Structure 1
């Protein structure tokens, strides 16, 4: 099949209308879709859907009981150490502000200094400057506007004043995801991860695409006010059938949060992060979420905020559902009383587990706020990204708490293409095989709201458009070309995962 797909790349001229001419690709492009229900970004988050956070089904109380059984005393001690650490770290973050985010220029990523590496490992967030030339990216933004204008039936949120578009296969997105320098930047970031299992079936050297949306936020917008949240599921982080399959957070449940390693990859290979088929819930292993800036955008101008406390913040929002204040009354106007409320001696393990998973609800993203997660002091610990220019790439670890400005107070658009960094794994290859089908047909990415998507869009690109940009690892990232299992210096695990991925993608039996 490898040869026929290769021929089909040159033969396919979809452009939003015709299907590939090669029989192998035609079969892929006409298969019946398996889609989620239709929806937009508001369906992915309880707060944007108008839902209120509340206790969940009673089974979650029993889940919490089992999760920490036998470790209650260690968990309590761990909680107190965590609160002490947060009291030290948060004032430092508040003082640094945007300077807490490590920044590097693309031309320097082959010779990274120890300071950037140490800060990136600690913070989990980064800005890579000048990944793509400014004028090239501004041209992409112009193309996007033309594509949207030519297809006024494009879904977007909010409907009356679109800011986030349900677009996955526009010409600009195809060019950006395939761009050799962007793929190189993704590879650079993913190699911060490591595996304790030398035979793990994963390769961070072989990025795979994940077709995400784009944002073109206009000055004055306050509708796309997405507060602090974490991608990659919500309830799944506590569930045995979710992150429990990889024992990702076991050290936290055992009362040893300091031993939690957010950069260990092998434990994430068995994770199910979308148990409830949520619209927009990511089922692929994304090491980093990220976006390519298409605007000059600074703090308060409709940009991203992040919580650069990576391991501490993760431990806190995971442990929060197990603890309750002895005195729950709060007066946010009284500073001394607030200190008493947050004091460790005012918090105890729940005497009887409740079904609260603070900010989590099945089928939606994990959300956080100052009331549910008071010790994180989110108004102080959420910091803006530094000012970015068109062509800068912004990334954040998949466990990172992040948000967007509640109001776009700038004077120009704040536009980005969401482009995560995903390694080659067996499950990611399985997803990309489905995603390739969606690409060939113009359907939405399988993780997002279903429907006809861009199948009737004028000017939708085809396979040959990927080939024009990057006929090597660009095509591979899309699942349109076999990975080279005989390349130099591959580990045994890399060779095995490449072999399995090539079979899953249909390049050989």
Structure 2
């Protein structure tokens, strides 16, 4: 367990250990920096020439083959999978979600509890008005759909899931990770999220599980580092705090409920799967205080900032235009953001989903989460706002399919 009362001393000691893993930690960083610079220049060239950067595929074309395409996804750390859901179905789901919000007076509830969720408080754009709803029928039906289950299996199989002949996770069995909703109105300037990563901030340097995940990065073996190797990723220990992910996700993602694209206040990514290596080794450089990790703070998102990460930020790109029923997915180490302004004409709405395959770490979380589902409370990883306890038309166990029950361990 990480001692938050002594966190600066812990950081100082762990940085010494991490530096000593390398024969020359400065040379190690510059080798990684050179790799990142080449990737950034390539992204900038593609962007300048109007060439798509984020890999795309249609749902019906997903298959176990696609060797070159899968290689591109692993390099970019992200993928757009289109037409996962029928347009008419998603249109109705969006309307149903809107009705759920309105009939339960969510906006009034949110005003009363606006100071509970502090997770994004250190990101420059301020607190986003992402809806703290988890158990609407729209969300539950998307999660338990056969379509999403098929997508997640395909994504899971991009990973190396065995280590020393031991299975780390089962790519064919998914557990649900309930997450929130984004509904962004045209003209909004308050909901932006500056570039960040989830699932741990300071933990990525000082947790022993994470140190094992990133061993090749720290120990002068960057060329062998594979961000899609799941070894030790289900052994990490995140700081106990609301809104810090305590599961192993092969991918984060969302389903588009409305049309949205660049300029519509939507998602941005730095599409470099190995970018975490730059973030980690940058913090070991001598211009960063010994008790600091480039401004990272415990129990918060891992902020990526212009002071230390200006090179990386040059690679930030908005995702392509998304249609209702399209999905986008990104590796848990990929830096992501939400545009500061919504300059479009229609609502920019998404349901957040993530791929959490069956493993002991995820199973332990899923069992805690299932109790929250039955009570209509916020899941364990999120601030205990508990809006939905008495909400009308909240999804209940009778709304679950056999797959939905299995994924919720019910």
Is 1:96 paired with 2:46? yes
For residue 237 of structure 1, what is the aligned residue in structure 2? 204
User: Normalised by the size of structure 2, how large is the TM-score?
Assistant: 0.90
For residue 29 of structure 2, what is the aligned residue in structure 1? 79
Is 1:197 paired with 2:164? yes
- Paired with 2:298 and 2:129, the residues of 1 have a C-alpha distance of 26
Residues 36 and 278 in structure 2, CA contact (< 8 A), matched pair in contact too: no
Per-residue deviation, residues 358-389 of structure 1 (Å, max 9, x unmatched): 1310110101011221332x1x3011111110
Residues 295 and 413 in structure 1, CA contact (< 8 A), matched pair in contact too: yes
For residue 146 of structure 1, what is the aligned residue in structure 2? 99
TM-fit CA distance, 1:100: 1.2
Is 1:218 paired with 2:185? yes
For residue 285 of structure 1, what is the aligned residue in structure 2? 248
TM-fit CA distance, 1:451: 4.3
Q: Secondary structure at the match of 1:212?
A: coil
- Please provide the CA RMSD for this pair: 2.1
- Paired with 1:309 and 1:86, the residues of 2 have a C-alpha distance of 8
- Paired with 2:376 and 2:41, the residues of 1 have a C-alpha distance of 48
Report the count of equivalent residues: 388
- Paired with 1:403 and 1:289, the residues of 2 have a C-alpha distance of 13
Residues 230 and 365 in structure 1, CA contact (< 8 A), matched pair in contact too: yes
Is 1:182 paired with 2:148? yes
Is 1:300 paired with 2:289? no
Residues 305 and 405 in structure 1, CA contact (< 8 A), matched pair in contact too: yes
Is 1:320 paired with 2:282? yes
- Paired with 1:144 and 1:359, the residues of 2 have a C-alpha distance of 37
For residue 294 of structure 2, what is the aligned residue in structure 1? 358
Q: Secondary structure at the match of 1:187?
A: helix
TM-fit CA distance, 1:77: 2.0
- Paired with 2:298 and 2:78, the residues of 1 have a C-alpha distance of 27
- Paired with 1:151 and 1:230, the residues of 2 have a C-alpha distance of 32
User: Normalised by the size of structure 1, how large is the TM-score?
Assistant: 0.73
Going from structure 1 to structure 2, the CA distance change for 1:112 and 1:99 (only over 3 Å counts) comes to farther
Going from structure 1 to structure 2, the CA distance change for 1:256 and 1:225 (only over 3 Å counts) comes to same
Is 1:452 paired with 2:359? no
- Paired with 2:243 and 2:373, the residues of 1 have a C-alpha distance of 17
- Paired with 1:456 and 1:256, the residues of 2 have a C-alpha distance of 53
* 4+ residue runs over 6 A deviation: none
TM-fit CA distance, 1:162: 8.1
TM-fit CA distance, 1:174: 0.7
Q: Secondary structure at the match of 1:271?
A: coil
Per-residue deviation, residues 276-329 of structure 1 (Å, max 9, x unmatched): x22210001111100000111111111111111111x1100001111145xxxx
For residue 227 of structure 1, what is the aligned residue in structure 2? 194
Is 1:369 paired with 2:305? yes
Which of 218, 229, 238 pairs up with 1:253?
Answer: 218
| Gaps in structure 1 of 5+ consecutive residues | 1-54, 326-349, 481-509
Going from structure 1 to structure 2, the CA distance change for 1:258 and 1:111 (only over 3 Å counts) comes to closer
- Paired with 1:425 and 1:129, the residues of 2 have a C-alpha distance of 28
Per-residue deviation, residues 227-271 of structure 1 (Å, max 9, x unmatched): 110011101101134523xx1011111122222111111321211
For residue 164 of structure 1, what is the aligned residue in structure 2? 130
- Paired with 2:309 and 2:229, the residues of 1 have a C-alpha distance of 26
Which of 220, 223, 227 pairs up with 1:262?
Answer: 227
Larger radius of gyration: 1
Moved more, 412-421 or 367-376: 367-376
TM-fit CA distance, 1:159: 5.8
Residues 237 and 243 in structure 1, CA contact (< 8 A), matched pair in contact too: yes
Which of 64, 85, 92 pairs up with 2:15?
Answer: 64
Correspondence 1:457-468 to 2 at 5 A: 457-467=391-401
Residues 156 and 162 in structure 1, CA contact (< 8 A), matched pair in contact too: no
TM-fit CA distance, 1:204: 1.2
Which of 422, 425, 444 pairs up with 2:359?
Answer: 425
Moved more, 230-239 or 63-72: 63-72
Is 1:123 paired with 2:76? yes
Residues 207 and 236 in structure 2, CA contact (< 8 A), matched pair in contact too: no
Residues 218 and 413 in structure 1, CA contact (< 8 A), matched pair in contact too: yes
Q: Secondary structure at the match of 2:194?
A: coil
TM-fit CA distance, 1:109: 0.3
TM-fit CA distance, 1:112: 4.5
Q: Secondary structure at the match of 1:292?
A: strand
Which of 470, 476, 479 pairs up with 2:406?
Answer: 476
- Paired with 2:35 and 2:368, the residues of 1 have a C-alpha distance of 44
Q: Secondary structure at the match of 1:409?
A: coil
For residue 492 of structure 1, what is the aligned residue in structure 2? none
Going from structure 1 to structure 2, the CA distance change for 1:401 and 1:156 (only over 3 Å counts) comes to farther
- Paired with 2:317 and 2:168, the residues of 1 have a C-alpha distance of 35
Going from structure 1 to structure 2, the CA distance change for 1:108 and 1:258 (only over 3 Å counts) comes to same
Going from structure 1 to structure 2, the CA distance change for 1:369 and 1:66 (only over 3 Å counts) comes to same
Residues 56 and 357 in structure 1, CA contact (< 8 A), matched pair in contact too: no
